[in-house]
Structure 1
Amino acid sequence: MGGTGAESTAAELRAAVHALLKVLDPEQVRELRTAPSRLDAPELREWTYLPGSRPGLSTEALDGEQRAAVDGVLAAAHGTLGAELALGAIEVERHRRELVGAPGPDRYWLRLLGDPDTDGPWGWRMNGHHLAVHVVVAGEDVRVTPHFIGAEPARIAEGPHAGRRLLGPEEDLARELVTGLDRTRRTSAIFATEPPDDILTRDDPFADPGVLPPGLTYDAMTTPQQQLVERLVHRYLDRAPAAYAQACWSELRRRGLDGISFAWAGGTDPGDRHYYCVRTPEFLIEYDNTQDDGNHAHSVWRHLRHDWGIDLLRAHYTDQHTPRDPGQG
């Protein structure tokens, strides 16, 4: 497919949605399109990563062809790593249901917002237990946050997937960073011996970086420590399509990497209950593995300007209400 990376992503998202619409019956399309008329409606910023039903098309009763089309929509909003994690969260959730004696079909809900065949903004979201993906497209620009992936169990102990740790690299990179700090730097980085029981921003409509601890700043780290925190940041950015991930990283570099900070709470040995966060001027990252004795992980990436595509929607709706210069076409 030609064009820039951003153009390719927007085109792939449209193609994936069209492929899904072709295999749904009229009632399913009606459920899929459950949405307010404007993508900046406040109710569309309500979300949760807990179990329970949501508005939209449920995956529970879809046939194989329809479910494959839903997976295609989900994959189109991610880079390779992100698609593996999003689909992996669904697989781990299947394992969890089997563990508690409640096997059955997947229960996630997909909503199509707006119309991908018009010039207006549009998008979709897919939500369910431990999965929350939110996509907004305006022209060729794409936004993909808030983005939440969870894993319960964080480490699968038995069965054909024994040993699998869906969010293992997210945990291991951060632990390598904190355990490599000297006493002085650890004092700055570790803000509590007892970790919080969940991510601190929870499912707030807008992420407030002020609820996060200040942590150890990038400029106070050694070069190897700086490289580790950069790898950790990239691990989250690489969930997104490559062009958008690169744009976020480039903006962070322009703003200055010294704006990065890292904070940790809890134990530092594998298996210990723990939490960490990364703050930057543009976005924040949180991870916790505290519930179920440290075998139940949450991870989230929030963008302070891009969540819900607010920047794109504001620009679009402002432009709609800006009087045109009579001298223009």
Structure 2
Amino acid sequence: MTSLTTKKRAKWIASLLLLFTGAGAWSYWQEKKVGEGMTAAAVKYLASLDEKQRKTSQLDYADTKQRVGWHFIPKDHRKGLQIRHMNEKQRAAAKALAQSCLSQIGYDKARQIMQLESLLDALEENSRFARDPLRYYFTVFGDPQPDSRWGLSIEGHHLSLNFVVDKNEVISSTPTFYATNPATVMDTYPGDHGVKKGTRVLDKEERLAFELVNSLTAEQRKVAIIADKAPREIRGAGSMQPPQDKAVGLRIGDMTEAQQQLAQQLGGAYLENMPESVRQKRIAALEAAGPEEIRFAWAGATKPGVGHYYRFQGPTLLVEFVNTQPDAAGNPANHVHAVWRDMRGDFALPVKP
């Protein structure tokens, strides 16, 4: 068992930067560049809308209830303008806005999650909710200008992306929620519906977690595994702020170096969804708080096909992953929910003590 010494801690952070950002330390100017791109894309998106659409898609930043009202469940109504109700020019502007706030990997995951709605529509019979890859909503909060504070929500079934930009700097990028049903696109499904058989949109988030938990010794498992049965859902789904329960599980600092590397790679599966500078900013926060204090907890089965859950929790982050529900065809544990939250406060709103 190895604890993170100062030297190892520096090496751990350096590995994070190399594995997940491909660059050096986070830069204020890099962060400004992402924020500038988002602001410019938001201005172009809003300019493409007619007056009625703009009233639907642009809300007051001070409307906190709407701004923090996030969720990933299927709903009859959501804030914002639905892609289905945009023309081609407007859809192109919305796409550019989404691309401005995500990495290519993060954007591709979001696009695949949307496309899975077509498959769900084919698999489900008499669903209460419409399954439509264009049933996703864009909302801009406030007036996106270089000297203003404004927010962005991109949301629909199994996707919720939330950002706050202040004076062209991204100051909040959480909650970041991705989910997939099915988690694995089975060969037995009819047709392809734009999704290839064998597709696993959140593959690394699950595969690397199994590698990590199954690398633990019997003594480590006693600390890391907090329950024999996985919970049905992530905690605090739809809540304004992440749950503030004390972190449980195995400390990163009490893992072997090989296990720490697996933990880094697993964390990277979440970090890689964001633009480089946002990733670097998250890593800088981890470094300042002490990565060795992050805890890894597991519940449920340690093999695929049976319900399982894990989380990473530290002073600045909460990552939760759950796969307990069957897919629309009845295959067990083939429906993933995964989220990254900021323990200091989502939506650029500090957690109240």
Measured against the shorter chain, the TM-score band is: 0.7 to 0.9
Q: Tell me the residue number matched to 1:48.
A: 71
Taking the aligned partners of 1:200 and 1:31, their CA distance within structure 2 comes to 30
- Alignment partner of 1:261 out of 295, 298, 301: 295
Give runs of ≥4 in structure 1 deviating > 3 Å. Answer: 101-105
SS at match of 1:14: helix
Q: Are the counterparts in 2 of residues 109 and 126 from structure 1 also a CA contact under 8 Å?
A: yes
- Alignment partner of 1:246 out of 280, 284, 292: 280
Deviation, structure 1 residue 306: 4.7
Q: Tell me the residue number matched to 2:19.
A: none
- Alignment partner of 2:81 out of 32, 57, 77: 57
Deviation, structure 1 residue 36: 3.3
Deviation, structure 1 residue 104: 4.5
1:273 is the counterpart of 2:307: yes
- Alignment partner of 1:153 out of 169, 174, 182: 182
TM-score for the superposition, normalised by structure 1:
0.88
Q: Are the counterparts in 1 of residues 175 and 342 from structure 2 also a CA contact under 8 Å?
A: yes
Give deviations 1:227-280, integer Å, cap 9, x for gaps. 111111122122112112112112212322211110111111122211100011
Give the % identical residues.
33
SS at match of 1:235: helix
Q: Tell me the residue number matched to 1:308.
A: 347
Q: Tell me the residue number matched to 1:121.
A: 149
Taking the aligned partners of 1:71 and 1:144, their CA distance within structure 2 comes to 18
Gaps of 5+ in 1: 315-329
TM-score for the superposition, normalised by structure 2:
0.82
Q: Are the counterparts in 2 of residues 94 and 106 from structure 1 also a CA contact under 8 Å?
A: no
Across the aligned residues of Structure 1 and Structure 2, the Cα RMSD in angstroms comes to: 2.0
Deviation, structure 1 residue 207: 0.4
1:297 is the counterpart of 2:320: no
Gaps of 5+ in 2: 1-27, 327-331
Give deviations 1:27-80, integer Å, cap 9, x for gaps. 1111111x23516x2442222110112122122222233222212211211122
Q: Tell me the residue number matched to 2:226.
A: 191
Deviation, structure 1 residue 305: 2.5
Q: Which amino acid aligns with 1:192?
A: A
Matches within 5 A, 1:1-329: 4-33=29-58, 35-38=59-62, 41-52=64-75, 53-100=77-124, 104=132, 106-117=134-145, 119-142=147-170, 143-157=172-186, 158=189, 159-160=191-192, 161-210=196-245, 214-292=248-326, 293-310=332-349
Taking the aligned partners of 1:149 and 1:94, their CA distance within structure 2 comes to 17
Deviation, structure 1 residue 213: 5.7
How many residues are matched? 307
Q: Which amino acid aligns with 2:74?
A: P
Identify if the C-alpha distance between structure 1 residues 120 and 261 changes in structure 2 by more than 3 Å, giving closer, same or farther.
Answer: same
Q: Which amino acid aligns with 2:263?
A: V
Taking the aligned partners of 1:146 and 1:237, their CA distance within structure 2 comes to 13
